[in-house]
Amino acid sequence: MDYLPIFLKISQQPCLVVGGGQVAKRKVTLLLKAHAKVTVLAPEILSELKTQVLAAGGQILECAYHAHYLAQQRLVIAATDDESLNQQVFNDCELANIPVNVVDAPALCRFIFPSIIDRSPVVIAISSSGQSPVLARLLRTRLESIIPAAYGQLAAFVGKFRLEVQRQLPDTPNRRAFWEKELQGRFAELVYNGRYDAAEQHLAQALATHQQHAGEVYLVGAGPGDPDLLTFKALRLMQQADVVVYDRLVSQPILDLCRRDADMIYVGKARASHAVPQEDINQLLVRLAQEGKRVCRLKGGDPFIFGRGGEEIEELAAAGIAFQVVPGITAASGCSAYAGIPLTHRDYAQSVRFVTGHLKDGTPNLPWSELVHERQTLVLYMGLVGLAEIANQLIANGMRPDMPVALVSHGTRPNQQIVTGEIATIAEKVQASGIKAPTLTIIGDVVKLQDKLAWFGQK
C-alpha cells in the first residue's frame, strides 16, 4: 500500500485551507461535513465560500499565506494554482509535522482524499493512491448502487445497543457471531423498514436466548491461485472465520481476502517437507472447533482432488464437529483453461484422467497400462520431480514418443509459465527451463491446440 487507509476524527478541530476558488470550496465542503473548524486563507475568496465557512463558525483570512498560520492546525489543504506556493505550504507542514494535502499533486501529499460513499455512520472510502481518481469515482458509483441508504440507519441503531451486548456477551468470538447473525436476519429487516420498536424487542429476545456459538470447520477450495476464481460462498466463509488454517498452495492474494483479524495458521506441505504432518492438521482442526471457533481450512485447488480433504472431514465427523465443504476449481481446470488447452475435444480426446505424480519410495506406483490411451487426456498433479521416470514408464507401456505434453507452472497466477514438448524429451526441456513447483502436467493431443488458443486463456 502506498497510503495507510485511516479515518480522522476532526470534529471541532482546526483545519486550514489555503486557496479561495472552486477547488478549495469542494475541500471545505468535505471538512465541514466532518464538523471541522475551518479557516480559509487566500488574498481572494469566493463569496459563496465565505458564506459557507462563516455560517459554520469558521474563519476567513483574506491575506497572503505565511507559515505562522499553521500554528495549532490539525491538517492543512493547499488548493491554489500557484505551484511555488503549494510547494511552500507542503515544506512548512513537513517541518511542523502537520498532515498536508496539495490538490492534484500526489508527491506533495501526506494524505489524500478518497472517493466517498456516505451512509453515516457507515462511511466507505475508495482510493487509487492518487493514480486514477476517475477510476476511484467509477468504483464509487458502482458501489453506491448496491449499498442501501438504510445501512446507515442500521449502524446507528446497532450503536445504541453495542455496550449492552458487549456486557452480556463478553466473549469476542461469541459476540461477533451474534452480530453476524442478527445483521443478516430479521433484526436488520425490521430496521430497514423503520420498525424500530419491533427491532429493539427482537434484539432483546435474541440476546436473552443466544447460546454460545458452536465451533465449525469450513473446508474451502481456494482454487489454483487467481483470487477471481473463488466462489461467492468461499469468500463469505473466509470473511467470517475466526481462524484460517492454510497450506502452501494458497496464493497471497487469496489470503489477503480473509478476515483481517483472523488468526492465520500455516500448515504448508511441500514434497518431503511437511510443516505440519497431516495427522496433526486433523487434530488441530478438531481442537480449534472444540474451542468454539469457526475455522476455515483453506486448501489450494479443490479439497477432494488430491487435497486430502476426505481424511480431514473423517476426523471431524468422528469428533462430532460440524463442517461444510466448499468445492474449488481444481488445478487441472484452472491451469488448462489459462494455458489455452481444453482437457477434452471432439477431435482429440473423449475422456480425461487425473492422477498424482508423486512417486512412492522413489519408484513409480501408477497403473501405467491404464494411463496409455490414444484419445484420452492425462493430467498429472505434482509430477515435476518424477517427470523423467513418468515419461519413461508411459513410453515403455505403449505411449508414442511424440505425444504432446505441456507443463504449467504457477497456473492462473501472474507468474504462470508453460513448457510444451513431446513425451520423449519433455523432461530435458523442463530441466533446461528452470521451471519451479507447483506444476501441472497435461499429456495428450489436446496440447496441440495450445499455440492457437493460449491468447484466449492468458491474462
Task: Please report, in range form, the residues annotated as the binding site for S-adenosyl-L-methionine.
Answer: 224, 300-302, 305, 330-331, 382, 411
Which one is catalytic: 50, 181, 269, 429? 269
- State the Cα torsion 37-39-45-49 to the nearest 10°: 0
For residue 451, indicate whether it is catalytic.
Answer: no
Contact by Cβ (8 Å): 296, 290: no
Residue type, 236: R
Residue type, 122: V
Distance of CA 451 to the CA centre of its chain: 32
| Cα 128–Cα 129–Cα 132 angle in degrees, nearest 5 | 45
For residue 361, indicate whether it is catalytic.
Answer: no
Distance CA 417, CA 407 (A): 8
Q: Which residues are annotated as a binding site for NAD(+)?
A: 22-23, 43-44
Nearest Cα residue to 264 out of 289, 238, 287: 238
Distance of CA 235 to the CA centre of its chain: 8
Contact by Cβ (8 Å): 348, 445: yes
Residue type, 262: A
Which one is catalytic: 226, 247, 293, 299? 247
Residue type, 353: R
Helix axis angle, 426-433 to 387-396, nearest 10°: 170
Q: What is the DSSP string of 192-244?
A: HTT-HHHHHHHHHHHHHH--PPPPEEEEEE-BSS-GGG--HHHHHHHHH-SEE
Distance of CA 307 to the CA centre of its chain: 22
Q: Looking up cell 482454487, which residue turns up?
A: 223
Label residue 448 left, alpha or beta by phi (over 0 means left) and psi (-120 to 50 means alpha).
alpha
- Catalytic machinery residues: 247, 269
